[in-house]
């Protein structure tokens, strides 16, 4: 049946004219973005590597990757079959000059066809369901495995707290773990907690994304034999600085890991040359939010400052950790992280110098 509604305007031409500038703009933005023209100043950190979930190096990430490949292969097969048949039908049965202007034979009801397009999708869904259920069963663990390194991860707006109960270590934003091999298994088991809102812990190459929920303890594990630095980030919108809630995971050889543990357990060196900064730090409100072993500072609102200089970044990945950036940060953290909960302490330039001089001794 043909439509009786008159066409009031030549739709095709208008649509084509309005799509073109939009498509051109999209392409320009993509090209500019990938060339680094857009937002280049907002990424002060040189990323060591791209963190791709298609290059897993840890057991749970590998299992998820295998499942993703299977699902992708099945979906690609369905797409190629359906799109291929569609193209074939469009070409094979297109209207040709000289065709009679009448409808082709109409077929109603075919038990074979209907059974086929009911049973085949059911089989596909059952296969996907079973494969997914198996992977979930392999990846989910409620309790730590034998000999695992346990770390409690607490999500805060907007940084990560890491506590190693076994070693009495408290640190932030940069997780250090040992490799785990077949001869010497040493998986890492994470307890995920939140101090405030829902966050999501995600290091694509090491494990699947797991939500970090207030008043609940979720779990995650990592088992990798490949040393290196792996990047991740909070993957659940949690407020203004969600994008600056980055994670770095350092996977060490057993010797390196032991050395890191020793260094973190050692008390921070008290350098007499920065005594003024140390006293000033203990007189200001810094101590209400930050913890620093060996001082009166025992706040838990912000990251611990013990061994601060052993970390590569400040502000949960907002900037590289060096003297220049520390000075800017102490002066006004919002420069790197607008909306950050650490206030501008209104220190004089001299006071900032003293505090930063002190902070940089915290190796
Ligand atoms: Cu925490 Cu997004």
Per-residue pLDDT of the chain (363 residues), as tens digits, is: 444 444 444 444 444 444 555 566 656 655 554 444 444 344 445 555 568 888 999 999 999 999 999 999 999 999 999 999 999 999 998 888 888 777 878 888 889 989 999 999 999 999 999 999 999 999 999 999 989 999 999 999 999 999 999 999 999 999 999 999 999 999 999 999 999 999 999 999 999 999 999 999 999 999 999 999 999 999 999 999 999 999 999 999 999 999 999 999 988 888 888 888 888 888 888 898 998 888 888 888 899 999 999 999 988 988 889 989 899 998 888 888 888 888 888 888 888 898 899 988 888
Closest ligand 1 atom, CA of 157? 1
Q: CA 250 to CA 93: how far, in whole Å?
A: 60
Residue 238 Cα, ligand 1 centroid: separation in angstroms?
4
Residue 83 Cα, ligand 1 centroid: separation in angstroms?
40
Q: Across-strand partners of 320?
A: 313
Same domain flag for 321 and 259: no
Residue 316 Cα, ligand 1 centroid: separation in angstroms?
11
Closest ligand 1 atom, CA of 197? 1
The predicted model scores a pTM of: 0.80
**Domain termination residue (choose one: 239, 265, 291):** 265
Q: Whose CA is nearest to atom 1 of ligand 1?
A: 199
Same domain flag for 282 and 355: yes
Residue 49 Cα, ligand 1 centroid: separation in angstroms?
21
Q: CA 45 to CA 48: how far, in whole Å?
A: 9
Which residues are near ligand 1 (CB < 6 Å)? 155, 158, 199, 234, 236-238, 242, 245
Nearest to 59 by CA among 189, 160, 162, 250: 189
159 inside domain: yes
The whole domain housing 258 covers 149-265
Residue 39 Cα, ligand 1 centroid: separation in angstroms?
20
Same domain flag for 258 and 201: yes
Burial of 202 (0-12, 13-18, 19+ CB in 10 A): buried
Radius of gyration from C-alpha coordinates of the chain: 29
Contacts of 50 (CB under 8 A, 6+ apart): none
Q: What is the pLDDT of residue 293?
A: 85
92 inside domain: no
Nearest to 235 by CA among 247, 251, 249: 247
Closest ligand 1 atom, CA of 235? 2
Same domain flag for 261 and 351: no
Q: How many domains does the chain contain in total?
A: 2
54 inside domain: no
H helices within the chain, ranges in order? 11-35, 59-92, 111-139, 254-265, 275-283, 286-289, 323-331, 349-359
Q: What is the pLDDT of residue 297?
A: 86
Q: What is the pLDDT of residue 255?
A: 95
**Domain termination residue (choose one: 265, 295, 315):** 265
Same domain flag for 173 and 205: yes
Q: What is the pLDDT of residue 20?
A: 56
Q: What is the pLDDT of residue 15?
A: 42
């Amino acid at each position: 049946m043909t439509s009786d509604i008159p066409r009031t305007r030549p739709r095709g031409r208008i649509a084509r004219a309005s799509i073109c500038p939009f498509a051109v703009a999209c392409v320009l933005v993509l090209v500019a973005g990938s060339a680094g023209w857009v937002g280049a100043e907002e990424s002060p950190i040189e990323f060591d590597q791209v963190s791709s979930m298609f290059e897993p190096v840890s057991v749970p990430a590998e299992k998820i990757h295998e499942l993703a490949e299977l699902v992708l292969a099945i979906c690609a097969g369905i797409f190629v079959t359906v799109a291929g048949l569609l193209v074939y039908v469009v070409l094979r049965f297109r209207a040709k000059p000289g065709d009679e202007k009448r409808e082709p034979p109409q077929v109603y009801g075919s038990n074979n066809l209907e059974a086929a397009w009911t049973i085949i999708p059911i089989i596909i869904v059952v296969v996907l369901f079973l494969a997914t259920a198996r992977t979930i069963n392999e990846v989910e663990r409620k309790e730590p495995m034998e000999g695992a390194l346990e770390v409690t991860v607490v999500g805060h707006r907007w940084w990560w707290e890491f506590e190693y109960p076994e070693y009495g270590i408290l640190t932030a934003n940069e997780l250090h773990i040992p490799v785990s091999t077949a001869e010497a298994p040493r998986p890492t088991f994470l307890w995920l907690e939140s101090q405030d809102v829902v966050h999501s812990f995600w290091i694509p190459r090491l494990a699947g994304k797991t939500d970090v929920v207030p008043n609940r303890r979720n779990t995650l594990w990592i088992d990798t034999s490949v040393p290196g630095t792996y990047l991740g980030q909070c993957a659940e919108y949690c407020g203004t600085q969600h994008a600056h809630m980055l994670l770095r995971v350092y996977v060490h050889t057993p010797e390196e890991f032991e050395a890191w543990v020793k260094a973190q357990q050692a008390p921070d060196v008290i350098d007499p040359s920065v005594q003024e900064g140390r006293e000033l730090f203990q007189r200001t409100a810094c101590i209400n939010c930050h913890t620093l072993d060996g001082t009166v500072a025992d706040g838990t609102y912000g990251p611990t400052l013990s061994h601060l200089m052993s970390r590569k970044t400040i502000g949960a990945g907002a900037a590289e950790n060096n003297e220049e950036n520390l000075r800017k940060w102490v002066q006004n953290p919002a420069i790197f992280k607008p909306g950050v909960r650490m206030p501008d302490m209104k220190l004089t330039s001299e006071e900032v110098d003293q505090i930063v001089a002190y902070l940089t001794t915290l190796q």
